[in-house]
Structure 1
Amino acid sequence: MTKRAYNFNAGPAALPLEVLRRAQEEFVEYQGIGMSIMEISHRSAQYEKLNEDTQSLLKELFSIPDGYKTLFLQGGASTQFAMIPMNFLKAGQTAYYVHTGAWASKAIKEAKLIGETAIAASSEADNFTRIPDLSGLQLGDHAAYLHITSNETIGGAQFVQYPDTGSVPLIGDMSSDILCRPVDVSKFAMIYAGAQKNLGPSGVTVVILREDLLQDTPKGIPTMLRYDTHTKGNSLYNTPPVYSVYMVNLVLQWIKENGGVAAMEKRNREKTSLIYQAIDQSGGFYRGVVQPEYRSLMNITFRMENEELEKKFVKESEQHGFVGLKGHRDVGGLRASTYNAVPFEACEALASFMADFQKRNG
């Protein structure tokens, strides 16, 4: 087999090699039915079983309590930015958002198109290098919900603890850190995540929705943008992204076989600490972007003395088999995305390369 790259892409991102091999084995014929999973009807017994098995696996691994629905939708997390206020922001209410960076900003922008929107807390004054302190959070009497972005993929800041919002529904965009660590799902009224970082390939978005949110959905919402449409249809109202859901199923099986979500967190902390140590022990040659207590387990962002040196770093890293270390075009710098499927050996190799690059250029 050809040598695989050290894949630090931000998304679509690395998938477990074991998952890719199993998908390869089943690509032409799925479980003896004489067809690929991409060829079967989404109304077939085989797909309905896959759909339900994937929901059950996610419920088990993420410890989702009873009273929640798990949906597999399309349009990415970006469509959720609009669907959430359309379904849950009613006249006379205000949607509250915690502004933590680029993805939170996109969610806020969409909500403002739908109804009254307010920023409950922001770290913009600190260039989004931290998560705002929410311990004294005060929401108005007419709060529809509080929305947070659990992990900012571009900036690299991650929530350490989630706020207690009392009776106000808490909604979390966990696109880039779902299943990287255990979470008390009962704190949330809704969690959503594009699959293409920690769950599988692009094409499907997972929504975990508390059923009581579905009461009194406004009548004027188009059919496909209503959560009750998809809960009633069990994600089968229209043709789902069959192959993407299949791949999510394989990834969830891989997580289970490798010790579950708690084991993922242990492994993530061990492998990311290698890169953070390379930054912190460089004497300022590498500079972490985010304040240490809010550093992400999934997206490590750092800078160097100047952009020329960063460009040299990216070019040489590519020559050594590393992919995806260039920072997002909106912020520049460098970024290593260390999702669940990125192996320890890749992080070890990156830390070693960073030390060698510093020795040659410091």
Structure 2
Amino acid sequence: MENRIYNFNPGPAMQPLEVLQEAQKEFLNFAGSGMSIIEISHRSKQYEQVHNQAKADIKELMGLGDDYEVLFCQGGASMQFTMLPQNFAVDGKVGNYVLSGSFASKAYDEAKLLGVGHVAASSKDVNFKHIPTQDEIKLSDNAAYLHLCYNNTIYGTEYHYIPETGDVPLIADMSSDMLSRPLDFSKFSLIYAGAQKNLGPAGVVVVVARKSFIENSPESVPTMLRYNTYLKKNSLYNTPPAFCIYMVGKVVAWIKEMGGLEAMAKRNAAKAKLVYDVIDNSDGFYTGHADKDSRSFMNVTFRLPSVELENKFAAEALEHGLGGVKGHRSVGGMRTSIYNAMPMEGCQALVDFMEKFRKENK
């Protein structure tokens, strides 16, 4: 589409063009209501259909049954960092955390602030270049849960296995790889994801949890920080972020139309291979941050020979219609986020530019 760039930002991130066009088409008069989706009541039948269909499609894609519930929360994934220990690290138990990057560490910091955090494993000593292995994870005797950040946006690493935790509930922040590939989601007691990377716009967090795990939140926890508040009221205790949920529903319907998670995984692996192959075959001009066995399919991070070249790369990339390629300030270098919505054509345009830039600047 004219004047649109390929958006490699890590979040808010690129959305499927078909979804944006569909939302645009029905924005002024949603479902014959004579109102926009941002105007209709969250108690209306039109919105109820949107809300419940989004939930049903998410569970269908994840292969989960009636023992799981989908919640729509606010406060970003960062709000989940404090909700988790307040709801589950109780009665002498502590939250266990694998530190594999910035957001995994921030989640732990919230539990630590409450005095209920334990580091079960960490790759901080190697600048988060790899995902800790099963053997590295040491659960405490009083573990309330094990928390993972399944994809580390800043460092470009991703889990390629599901840790075994025995009877200890497994919790994952999947903000940046949610619904990007099939997994045995039933191994997780709770999964949460800020929508703005792979699911929709900023403003809503999708939580998918086993009902039995979230139905008994402590009454001492403030109402809006209790998971069972959302469970009991179908995430309608207060006015939900209706437009954001509507967009999430559009995106998950698009994923279904594209062939579901199996098709997404195949497509995402092919896109990532394109970019990683350029890095690996550049004779050291491009250097990947993550160890190869921990590489993310969603966020490709790499350095160039100098900061000056990195700044030049980012500026010229934008001139070529490739936006948001600059890495996080804590790591430097480049980061290209190739979430579900990024088409193969976008990755091809990126690698063509990378090859051109290398030849002109080596």
Q: CA deviation at 1:64?
A: 1.8
Q: CA deviation at 1:142?
A: 1.4
C-alpha RMSD of matched pairs (Å): 1.0
Q: Do structure 1's residue 361 and structure 2's residue 333 form an aligned pair?
A: no
C-alpha contact 1:121 1:134 (8 A) present in aligned 2: no
Q: How many residues align?
A: 362
- TM-score norm. by structure 1 comes to 0.98
Residue by residue, what CA displacement relative to the aligned partner does 1:25-67 show, whole Å, maximum 9, x if unpaired?
Answer: 0000011111111110001111111111110000111112331
C-alpha contact 1:63 1:185 (8 A) present in aligned 2: yes
4+ long deviations beyond 6 Å: none
Q: Do structure 1's residue 118 and structure 2's residue 111 form an aligned pair?
A: no
- Equivalent residue for 2:93? 93
C-alpha contact 2:157 2:290 (8 A) present in aligned 1: yes
2:333 and 2:178 map into 1 onto residues whose CA distance is: 25
Aligned in 2, Cα 1:300/1:315: closer, same or farther, shift over 3 Å? same
- Equivalent residue for 2:144? 144
Name the aligned partner's letter for residue 304 of structure 1: L
- TM-score norm. by structure 2 comes to 0.98
- Equivalent residue for 2:161? 161
- Equivalent residue for 2:244? 244
1:216 and 1:232 map into 2 onto residues whose CA distance is: 11
C-alpha contact 2:94 2:118 (8 A) present in aligned 1: yes
- Equivalent residue for 1:26? 26
- Equivalent residue for 2:348? 348
2:97 and 2:136 map into 1 onto residues whose CA distance is: 15
Residue by residue, what CA displacement relative to the aligned partner does 1:181-206 show, whole Å, maximum 9, x if unpaired?
Answer: 00111110000000001101111100
Q: Do structure 1's residue 56 and structure 2's residue 56 form an aligned pair?
A: yes
Q: Unpaired runs of 5+ in structure 1?
A: none
Residue by residue, what CA displacement relative to the aligned partner does 1:152-200 show, whole Å, maximum 9, x if unpaired?
Answer: 0101110000101111000000000011100111110000000001101
Q: CA deviation at 1:136?
A: 6.0
2:347 and 2:260 map into 1 onto residues whose CA distance is: 21
- Equivalent residue for 1:206? 206
1:6 and 1:95 map into 2 onto residues whose CA distance is: 39
1:141 and 1:218 map into 2 onto residues whose CA distance is: 22
- Equivalent residue for 1:254? 254
C-alpha contact 1:89 1:115 (8 A) present in aligned 2: no
- SS of the aligned residue for 1:31 comes to helix
Residue by residue, what CA displacement relative to the aligned partner does 1:284-335 show, whole Å, maximum 9, x if unpaired?
Answer: 0000000011100000000011101100111111111110000012221100
- Equivalent residue for 1:69? 69
1:83 and 1:268 map into 2 onto residues whose CA distance is: 31
Q: Do structure 1's residue 322 and structure 2's residue 335 form an aligned pair?
A: no
- SS of the aligned residue for 2:96 comes to strand
1:216 and 1:287 map into 2 onto residues whose CA distance is: 48
Residue by residue, what CA displacement relative to the aligned partner does 1:61-118 show, whole Å, maximum 9, x if unpaired?
Answer: 1112331110011111000000000000103112100000101111011111223211
Moved more, 108-117 or 347-356: 108-117
1:71 and 1:216 map into 2 onto residues whose CA distance is: 15
1:183 and 1:214 map into 2 onto residues whose CA distance is: 21
- Equivalent residue for 2:294? 294
Identity %, equivalent residues: 54
Q: Unpaired runs of 5+ in structure 2?
A: none
C-alpha contact 1:149 1:173 (8 A) present in aligned 2: yes
Moved more, 182-191 or 130-139: 130-139
Q: CA deviation at 1:216?
A: 4.0
- SS of the aligned residue for 1:275 comes to helix
C-alpha contact 1:310 1:333 (8 A) present in aligned 2: yes
- Equivalent residue for 1:3? 3
C-alpha contact 1:135 1:163 (8 A) present in aligned 2: no
